[in-house]
Copies of this chain bind each other. A is one copy, B any other.
Amino acid sequence: MSDQAVPRIELLAIPHIPLIQPGDDLPGVVLAAAAAAGIDWRERDVLVLAQKIVSKAEGRLVYLPDVTPSVRALDLAAATGKDPRLVEVILGESAEVLRVRPGLLVVEHRLGFVCANAGVDQSNVAGSDDWALLLPADPDASARRMRDAIRAASGADVAVIVSDSHGRAWRYGTVGVAIGVAGLHPLSDLRGQPDLTGRALQITEVGTADEIAAAAGLAMGQAGEGTPAVLVRGATFAAGEGRLGEILRPRAGDLFR
């Protein structure tokens, strides 16, 4: 007997995606790379795009020599040891600063999630330290554009997640999480469904979009742009016109600020 009969989820890293430059047609690049690799698009596939290529294609770059740090940025730069201009950029992307430590600013991003340094990245940008890369302006919208392009090219209804790597409150190491979604609800709500013994489940709201993003993170290669687009095939999720905000705890319900 062969294991080929066992149902499986597959994570396919779309090969040979070139380095993305500002203004590139990212959906076109990803569709071409998938086609060249013989990857077709199927109903209920999920495409996960690393934030970095989305942000670069959208030109979310800031030239640090053009940035004048505020007094607050200078203070936070002294406390963290960061470049004051970079801190100014981080503050511009933040709704609230939650923690300040050497090397680290933990913030609520203007998009509503909590992350380090507002997702602003100096690494791997245009071959220079003088640039900062911001997250996409509206990652749900970025995901929708990719989803629409796949549907236009193939006819298939494919969900799309824009992912980033986030640290966690109580564990070392980053894991992939969703920062934008299209074509799925990020949570799978199973509250009230009975378990195998007929007892009602207690805690059964699952962060499916984040599990998919974490799975894709395994396939992305850990140096960032190696394989920034991963197709997840066979996962179960709640299809629909979801928004990332559905998975974010509102400030009032947050026990850990």
Residue numbers of A with Cβ under 8 A of B are 1-15, 19, 36-40, 99, 101, 106, 113-114, 116, 121-127, 129, 165, 167-177, 186-188, 190, 193, 195-208, 210-212, 214-215, 217-219, 221-226, 234-236, 246-249, 254-256
Pair A15/B6 contact, Cβ less than 8 Å: yes
Indicate whether A123 sits within 8 Å of B199 (C-beta atoms), given known contacts A3-B12, A11-B8, A211-B176: yes
Task: State the oligomeric state as a number of copies.
Answer: 2
**Are the C-beta atoms of B218 and A208 separated by less than 8 Å?**
yes
Contacts of A197 in B (CB 8 A): 124-127
Given contacts A218-B215, A222-B204, A256-B256, contact A173 B190 (CB under 8 A): no
Given contacts A204-B223, A218-B235, 5 further A-B pairs with CB under 8 A are A3-B40, A9-B215, A169-B256, A171-B207, A173-B206
- Whether the Cβ atoms of B203 and A218 lie closer than 8 Å is no
Bound: A123/B197 CA distance, A: 8
Contact partner of A210 among B106, B175, B249, CB < 8 A? B175
Question: Are B37 and A3 closer than 8 Å at their CB atoms?
Answer: yes
Contact of A173 among B106, B125, B187, B195 (CB under 8 A): B187
Question: Which residue of B has the minimal Cβ distance to A99?
Answer: B255
User: Given the complex of chains A and B, what is the CA–CA distance between A160 and B124 in angstroms?
Assistant: 34
**Which partner residue on chain B sits nearest A201 by CB separation?**
B123
User: Bound state CA distance, A221 and B204, in angstroms?
Assistant: 11
Contact A169–B114 (Cβ < 8 Å): yes
What are 22 of the A-B contact pairs (CB < 8 Å)? A3-B37, A6-B13, A6-B38, A9-B215, A99-B255, A101-B255, A113-B171, A123-B195, A123-B200, A124-B196, A127-B197, A165-B203, A165-B206, A170-B256, A171-B248, A172-B207, A172-B248, A173-B207, A175-B210, A195-B223, A206-B222, A211-B217
